[in-house]
């Protein structure tokens, strides 16, 4: 049967699938180092690792992704051969709830776990927005006290600093879904006798608030009213609220700006009505000695109290926030690091109490060269009902998720991205009949703990040295017939060669160093070590 | 709208999906430590990390899984919204081929990469057999020389030892698909004028050989003939070969037994006809001084030479194996660690040359308590055509994959599984109004680098100490109203308490140590450190 070209199957395309990416060498190492630093903080805080598979049942995952109307939209789902619907996890929180419900008899309570791994979102990819990304989470299950939330916020600040974000370059912003519930109540969007009433409107409001950063107050305003047409002409239906309802909600959403104006336009409000008997006290020092910064959190609480203090869940939410701020303040985490911000709502549907978000406050240039704030790199909150879905029993839980890939992108944008380097010593092959000898030299270098390899490709000297250069090799080892006869090897200082070539080395002493050196073969290892030490010095 | 119980959606089941599992605390840490040890060996050999996403296009993955007839069987596949078929990767080799084809202009050649991560197989789960498992691979792309294969085998031996497998407890077994091709040729199952002829028979033969470990020679014999009925009554169709064909193939499959008998039943074959001019030489020392062990690899080559030496691909395969053995012997990797074994064929469809497999040689008890060899934990080989699928250009490549989860299971079976321990210091909460004080103590311990946490759950002293015990805490810190008034804390030595309770400590001096100690609050950190040091000593 002769082969017919037309019948030959076409070649598969060598392409990363749409919305996915590959990570090479130094990028992989940079992430591993960052995960090591963050999980070291988690461990020190008493969290233990847990790993689940990438696949869960669709029913266990639940439907909590934002902006999702159709079932299974937002996840990659497929049917098992026993007809169970399976899906790739979209976060590490839903699997934790499943694990805790499944193993609560044998797990300690509280169960404090951290988890690291990729998650998948079946979303439209965009610039810098991928359909697989890494998260690094820590959660406490079984702790009702907001001390658990305060601890997570403090740990998040510590973890960001361990990951290489300087203090002042990030802000952990806290809010409480209960305060938002209070706002809904005050705005007439919550009917205590029928909690499901107005749920569509509330959904629109939450998603609108979550977009404040991106759309600005006017965009949110439009979504609370009739709706909003975006740049592409697509129309998003609004919540159709009344002017009065919109005013209440904007007073909450825009609280940060209102409080800032209040504090900047005069002496700190002399009537600052900090709720009494709530376990936190504004010291006189807070009012005066450190100005607006230190007073911030209390001024926000005061503003919220005026707005929703008469609602029961609003008042409860404000008291919880006060306790959190109180605990954090006592541990030295002031509003320079952790601050109240009513515009934080978090998109995921499962939050029930305090919510938090870490944003990076420095500016970067976007893909069109315009400066913009880097934005959110981590988020979390309390989700007291997620385990209850499985067990029927209330199980308090709270936790945070750090978006590791976004954090790496942020460091790269600050010019602190992954650095290539530390390539292997390359033992060049001049004489193929001598492979065992080259392998022995490479073996000796490896035995001394050095990275080393015999060149295994094709090509002559120039190609082998170009390879060593491309691999960032510190040293190339060269031995041909002549060298073997004389019992010596040539060492080429690749680092010095590169520095000389790039004109980096102007120091006369350096220039005097030979870029190539002949040494006895039995002194190979120590001579290579010395050459590497010189390059590193 | 009153809630109707019948209408309430049923609760989701809290179950790990069928064929998947969860890894807790010490299990996660044990795997991380093993991966660290193995990748450190890979790095030292000059390999750089690469990470790809879990998802590839189905066409990029290709169909190379063994025992798979229907398309997409064996993988978890799903359709993207642009109708592209996507699938979870089933190994780390197919994605590497895609990456190399896509980026070969910018990657060094040879491209030496290692990769670590989960892979997914849509298979029927069984005891100890999961549908997600971790692999840890290293591959050299762009090196045609079998020196690259020899290097991978040596590195595999080093990596297994770094992972904690003692020398003598493993064996790297090598074969060559080209020798198998020679056997097919000699047995009349390879028609040079039409390579696709007999491909079904060859497929059955390869899969049958791959099952030698499990089915024994009789099972393989049946599959080469009419077929085989297994214990469940299922019938697997055989290759229907003639007696003469079967004899040739069994001479190959069963070579190890035949060579062993030859060597054991008399003095080493005086006619040992090592192929001359093939770059390897049997020294007199090999023939005499170290007996059967050292001679093994040469005796196998001799046996194969007699069997398929007259076939061109058989002869080429034997010469390659000789070169590999020669290089390994020169580096001190003898048949005690790396040995030829014609029964190794590897199930994956993409191999074209040398193939290798690491098996653990010690016995474990299976799920029914019967002793059995642990078996294969790693495998690999040369796949010169895998990149060519994309580019049309021949690109030699070879590499190995270590099945990390199986290796961990092996260590556990040897009684060297993950050890719990190193739990956090637990600061108990006696007085909820003092949360800031407890948090300050915990913070001081953490600042000293200790794992520490404030107890955040509910419950009194006994429950809190039970929690500390469950977490393997070394020390519990206790302070109530009285202690705060006197400026002291109580330290409870949990490790000593546990040892005393378990009757482990009989030493009088130890018994004299107090399990509880009162220290000034400002000496908390040093006192805790001293108590931990004592427990560790």
For chain A, say whether B392 makes contact (Cβ under 8 Å). Answer: yes
Mean pLDDT in residue range A399-417: 91
In this structure, the answer to whether residues A344 and A452 fall within a common structural domain is: no
Mean pLDDT in residue range B458-467: 93
In this structure, the answer to whether residues A326 and A453 fall within a common structural domain is: no
Inform me whether the pLDDT recorded for B447 exceeds 90. Answer: yes
Mean pLDDT, chain A, rounded, equals 87
- Please tell me the predicted confidence (pLDDT) of residue B276: 39
Of B53, B122, B456, the CB nearest to A132: B53
In this structure, the answer to whether residues A331 and A461 fall within a common structural domain is: no
What confidence tier does B374 reach under pLDDT thresholds 50, 70, 90? confident
Residue A157 domain flag: no
Inform me whether the pLDDT recorded for B8 exceeds 80. Answer: no
Question: Which of A134-148, B192-206, B327-341 comes out lowest in average pLDDT?
Answer: B192-206
Q: Is the dihedral of CA B163, B164, B166, B169 positive or negative?
A: negative
Inform me whether the pLDDT recorded for B348 exceeds 90. Answer: no
- Please tell me the predicted confidence (pLDDT) of residue A27: 94
In this structure, the answer to whether residues A480 and A338 fall within a common structural domain is: no
pLDDT cut 70: percent of chain B above it: 87
Mean pLDDT in residue range B285-299: 59
Mean pLDDT in residue range A299-318: 89
Other CB atoms within a 10 A radius of the CB of residue B287 amount to 17
Please give the residue range of the domain that contains residue A203.
Answer: 181-350
- Please tell me the predicted confidence (pLDDT) of residue A69: 45
Nearest CA in chain A to B48: A25
Inform me whether the pLDDT recorded for B286 exceeds 50. Answer: no
Query: Chain B residues with CB inside 8 Å of A452's CB?
Result: 44-46
Beta strands in A404-460 (DSSP E): 425-427, 452-454
What confidence tier does A28 reach under pLDDT thresholds 50, 70, 90? very high
In this structure, the answer to whether residues A431 and A285 fall within a common structural domain is: no
Residue A220 domain flag: yes
The CA distances from residue B494 to A47, B14, B333, B465, B513, in Å, are 19, 33, 48, 9, 12
Inform me whether the pLDDT recorded for A431 exceeds 80. Answer: yes
For chain A, say whether B483 makes contact (Cβ under 8 Å). Answer: no
Contact call for residues A181 and A314 (beta carbons, < 8 A): yes
The CA distances from residue A279 to A135, A274, A327, B300, B442, in Å, are 35, 11, 10, 82, 21
- Please tell me the predicted confidence (pLDDT) of residue B195: 80
Cβ distance A23 to B102 less than 8 Å, yes or no, reads no
What confidence tier does B177 reach under pLDDT thresholds 50, 70, 90? very high
Domain boundary among A323, A350, A377: A350
Residue B367 domain flag: no
Mean pLDDT, chain B, rounded, equals 87
Angle between helices A177-186 and A291-308 (to 10 degrees): 40
- Please tell me the predicted confidence (pLDDT) of residue A271: 55
The CA distances from residue A331 to A153, A370, B290, B444, in Å, are 12, 38, 70, 10
Tokens encoding A11:
């070649």
For chain B, say whether A146 makes contact (Cβ under 8 Å). Answer: no
For chain A, say whether B21 makes contact (Cβ under 8 Å). Answer: yes
Residue B455 domain flag: yes
Inform me whether the pLDDT recorded for A270 exceeds 60. Answer: no
Q: Is the dihedral of CA A503, A507, A511, A516 positive or negative?
A: negative
Inform me whether the pLDDT recorded for A280 exceeds 50. Answer: no
Mean pLDDT in residue range A375-398: 94
Q: What's the CA gap between B239 and A243, in Å, rounded?
A: 81
Per DSSP bridges, beta strands A48-51 and B55-57 are: unpaired
Inform me whether the pLDDT recorded for A282 exceeds 50. Answer: no
pLDDT digits (tens, 9 = 90+) for B70-107: 445 789 999 998 889 999 999 999 999 999 999 999 99
- Please state the separation of Cα A205 from the chain's center in Å: 26
A440: helix, strand or coil: helix
Inform me whether the pLDDT recorded for B431 exceeds 80. Answer: yes
The CA distances from residue A293 to A158, A192, A285, A324, A339, in Å, are 20, 38, 12, 17, 10
For chain B, say whether A29 makes contact (Cβ under 8 Å). Answer: yes
- The residues pairing with A478 across neighbouring beta strands, listed in sequence order, are A490
- Please tell me the predicted confidence (pLDDT) of residue B508: 60
- Please tell me the predicted confidence (pLDDT) of residue B265: 67
- Please tell me the predicted confidence (pLDDT) of residue B396: 96
Inform me whether the pLDDT recorded for A214 exceeds 50. Answer: yes
Inform me whether the pLDDT recorded for A485 exceeds 90. Answer: yes
Mean pLDDT in residue range B33-61: 96
Residue B68 domain flag: no
Mean pLDDT in residue range A138-159: 97
Of B279, B390, B432, the CB nearest to A11: B390
For chain A, say whether B375 makes contact (Cβ under 8 Å). Answer: no
- Please tell me the predicted confidence (pLDDT) of residue B70: 45
Work out the angle at residue B352's Cα, subtended by the Cα atoms of residues A443 and B317, and round it to the nearest 5 degrees.
70
Q: What's the CA gap between B4 and B335, in Å, rounded?
A: 73
Question: Which of A152-161, A265-274, B128-137, B296-305 comes out lowest in average pLDDT?
Answer: A265-274
What confidence tier does A445 reach under pLDDT thresholds 50, 70, 90? very high
- Please tell me the predicted confidence (pLDDT) of residue A294: 64
Inform me whether the pLDDT recorded for B282 exceeds 90. Answer: no
What confidence tier does A509 reach under pLDDT thresholds 50, 70, 90? low
Mean pLDDT in residue range B335-353: 86
- Please tell me the predicted confidence (pLDDT) of residue A297: 85
Domain boundary among A350, A367, A392: A350
Query: Chain B residues with CB inside 8 Å of A446's CB?
Result: 44-45
Residue A5 domain flag: no
- Please tell me the predicted confidence (pLDDT) of residue B7: 57
Q: What's the CA gap between B504 and B515, in Å, rounded?
A: 14
Angle between helices A243-253 and A291-308 (to 10 degrees): 150
Residue A45 domain flag: no
Overall domain count for chain B: 1
- Please tell me the predicted confidence (pLDDT) of residue A104: 94
Inform me whether the pLDDT recorded for B284 exceeds 80. Answer: no
In this structure, the answer to whether residues A208 and A329 fall within a common structural domain is: yes
Inform me whether the pLDDT recorded for A411 exceeds 60. Answer: yes
Inform me whether the pLDDT recorded for B259 exceeds 90. Answer: no
- Please tell me the predicted confidence (pLDDT) of residue B129: 85
Mean pLDDT in residue range A70-99: 88
pLDDT cut 90: percent of chain B above it: 59
Tokens encoding A322:
């006060």
Mean pLDDT in residue range A193-200: 85
Cβ distance A13 to B84 less than 8 Å, yes or no, reads no
Residue A100 is assigned to a ligand binding site: no
Residue A93 is assigned to a ligand binding site: yes
Q: Write down the H helix ranges in B47-173.
A: 58-61, 93-103, 147-162
Q: What's the CA gap between B353 and B398, in Å, rounded?
A: 9
> In the sheet where B77-79 sits, what is the strand order?
B55-57, B85-88, B77-79
Domain boundary among A317, A350, A383: A350
Q: What's the CA gap between A404 and A408, in Å, rounded?
A: 6
Query: Chain B residues with CB inside 8 Å of A196's CB?
Result: 1
E strand or H helix at B323: helix B312-330
Other CB atoms within a 10 A radius of the CB of residue B125 amount to 14
Mean pLDDT in residue range B156-173: 95
In this structure, the answer to whether residues A319 and A437 fall within a common structural domain is: no
- Please tell me the predicted confidence (pLDDT) of residue B271: 55
Q: What's the CA gap between B174 and B358, in Å, rounded?
A: 9
| CA–CA min distance A198, chain B (Å) | 13
- The residues pairing with A476 across neighbouring beta strands, listed in sequence order, are A426, A492
Of A18, A99, A140, the CB nearest to B80: A18
Other CB atoms within a 10 A radius of the CB of residue B330 amount to 16
Of A12, A22, A60, the CB nearest to B99: A22
Mean pLDDT in residue range B482-493: 96
Residue scoring higher pLDDT (B291 or B388): B388
Mean pLDDT in residue range B427-437: 94
- Please tell me the predicted confidence (pLDDT) of residue B71: 45
For chain A, say whether B446 makes contact (Cβ under 8 Å). Answer: yes
Inform me whether the pLDDT recorded for B285 exceeds 60. Answer: no
Contact call for residues B166 and B416 (beta carbons, < 8 A): no
- Please tell me the predicted confidence (pLDDT) of residue B303: 87
Cβ distance B54 to A118 less than 8 Å, yes or no, reads yes
- List the CATH number of the domain containing A462: 3.40.50.800
- Report the half-sphere exposure of B7 (CA within 13 A, side-chain side): 4
Cβ distance A454 to B147 less than 8 Å, yes or no, reads yes
Residue A238 domain flag: yes
For chain A, say whether B281 makes contact (Cβ under 8 Å). Answer: no
Sequence-ordered list of residues with C-beta below 8 angstroms from that of B110, at least 6 positions apart, any chain: A455, A456, A457, A467, B140, B141, B142, B143, B148
ipTM confidence score = 0.89
């Amino acid at each position: 049967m002769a082969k017919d070209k037309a019948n030959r199957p076409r070649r598969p395309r060598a392409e990363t699938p749409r919305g996915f990416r590959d990570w090479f060498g130094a990028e992989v190492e940079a992430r591993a180092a960052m995960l090591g630093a963050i999980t070291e903080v988690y461990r020190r805080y008493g969290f233990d690792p847990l790993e689940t598979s990438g696949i869960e049942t669709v029913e266990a995952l639940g439907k909590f992704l934002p902006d999702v109307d159709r079932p299974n939209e937002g996840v990659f789902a497929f049917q098992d051969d026993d007809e169970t619907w399976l899906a790739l996890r979209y976060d590490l929180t839903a699997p934790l709830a499943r694990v805790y419900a499944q193993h609560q008899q044998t797990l300690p309570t509280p169960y404090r776990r951290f988890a690291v791994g990729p998650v998948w979102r079946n979303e439209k990819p965009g610039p810098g927005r991928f359909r697989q990304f890494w998260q690094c989470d820590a959660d406490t299950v079984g702790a009702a006290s907001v001390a658990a939330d305060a601890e997570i916020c403090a740990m998040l600040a510590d973890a960001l600093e361990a990951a290489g974000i300087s203090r002042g370059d990030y802000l952990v912003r806290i809010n409480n879904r209960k305060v938002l519930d209070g706002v809904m109540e005050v705005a007439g969007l919550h009917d205590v006798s029928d909690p499901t009433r107005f749920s569509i409107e509330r959904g629109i409001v939450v998603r609108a608030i979550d977009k404040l950063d991106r759309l600005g107050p006017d965009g949110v305003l439009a979504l609370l009213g009739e709706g909003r047409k975006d740049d592409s002409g697509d129309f998003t239906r609004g919540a159709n609220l009344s002017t009065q309802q919109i005013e209440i909600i904007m007073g909450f959403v825009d609280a940060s700006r209102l409080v800032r104006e209040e504090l900047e336009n005069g002496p700190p409000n002399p009537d600052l009505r900090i709720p009494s008997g709530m376990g936190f006290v504004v010291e006189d020092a807070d009012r005066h000695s450190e100005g607006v910064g230190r007073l911030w959190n209390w001024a926000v609480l005061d503003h919220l109290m005026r707005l929703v203090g008469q609602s029961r869940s609003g008042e409860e939410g404000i008291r919880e926030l006060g306790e959190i701020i109180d605990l954090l303040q006592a541990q030295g985490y002031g509003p320079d690091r952790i601050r109240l911000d009513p515009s934080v709502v978090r998109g995921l549907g499962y939050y029930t109490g305090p919510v938090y978000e870490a944003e990076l406050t420095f500016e970067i240039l976007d893909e069109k060269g315009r400066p913009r704030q880097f934005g959110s790199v981590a988020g979390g909150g309390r989700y007291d009902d997620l385990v209850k879905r499985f067990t029927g029993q209330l199980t308090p839980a709270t936790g945070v998720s750090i978006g590791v890939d976004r954090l790496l992108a942020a460091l790269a944008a600050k010019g602190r991205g992954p650095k290539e380097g530390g390539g292997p010593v390359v033992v060049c092959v001049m004489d193929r009949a001598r492979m065992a000898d080259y392998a022995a030299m490479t073996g000796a270098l490896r035995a001394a703990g050095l990275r080393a390899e015999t060149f295994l490709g094709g090509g002559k000297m120039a190609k082998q040295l170009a390879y060593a250069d491309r691999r960032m090799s510190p040293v190339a080892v060269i031995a041909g017939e002549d060298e073997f006869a004389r019992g010596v090897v040539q060492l080429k200082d690749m680092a010095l060669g590169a520095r000389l070539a790039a004109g980096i080395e102007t120091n006369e002493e350096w220039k005097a160093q030979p870029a190539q050196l002949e040494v006895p073969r039995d002194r190979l290892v120590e001579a290579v070590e010395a050459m590497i030490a010189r390059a590193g010095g």
